[in-house]
Structure 1
């Protein structure tokens, strides 16, 4: 069982968000998971320009670090999104990363995986950012096992105090992977997304034959 955390704070190892995500991974490791954390600021990820080039062959026109990261996500069983709150939303680094996942979203390349989300903030917006990140997980076809946000008020010890809850979330994510986890609300949203995305898959079936056949085999295209 492999769980990967994608961390979007530009503060990298000094980040309270990274610390919180680390607690989640510690809990998952205690439950038997192999874990890793990726700092987006250590990677070169070019902003998406909506050229739609990836729709034809799954390959972005930009040669950067996103394709390798996407492979690491595909090889994982669980995905953790972790971002600080910047002006009531995820960090710019996290948003650029999300936008570049368009092909993975349209073709549901991560479908069937489990995930969760964490966020830290000074005062407000943490729950909303967790909800947004979990929404992105659902776009990817990933079922979220939950999330946690911490308002530190400028006190770094607030994250330490959240350690037990974050570790519990990590264990819950690991259990969702090994034992299964369902959520009718999320599953209905994912079905609705696929109903919308299937037109893209059908329109490009001559270019993405394998992906089209995978959708047919999954029963997502009748």
Structure 2
């Protein structure tokens, strides 16, 4: 049987990098029937194992509502392909209360994943409804309109001063780099690798992949 872990989404009162308030997103788009998706966030300066929690809005765009706890992220960041996530309940919302989101993580074994895929494939052939829920995983991140060439150029020349971070719209990180020498050069080197491999994101979480 799959392991089921009830937990609470962390950071639900924060704002996203694009300025959207997570409380507003939860109020509009999260209920007990919402599809919840998990995605790795290796560029997170606080915890490279961070796992972000997303919901889709009415425009079919993914919106971040928070994170898994550090403990769960450190345990499962490399097992998202085996995981499903469902909403258990939305809490709070009364006068002076913030909204919270309780979720249930379902940890499958590789054999269980294969069995679900087999059942889904058979269901597709026979068009017979299947009770088991489709496996959910985080969708691929959308592509940014920013240029990877410019980002790499700025990173190589002005990276320790945060030039590429400012270009990507990540102002806070830009100032952090400015006053820490690209977080003591380590963050600068990591960002060069990310830009070259196309995994560097802009402020909206979109990957800068186009040269």
TM-score, shorter chain, exceeding 0.5: no
Which TM-score applies when normalising by structure 2? 0.29
Structure showing greater relative contact order (alpha-carbon pairs closer than 8 Å, 6 or more residues apart): 1
Which protein has the larger Cα radius of gyration, Structure 1 or Structure 2?
A: 2
Structure whose residues are more often helix by fraction: 1
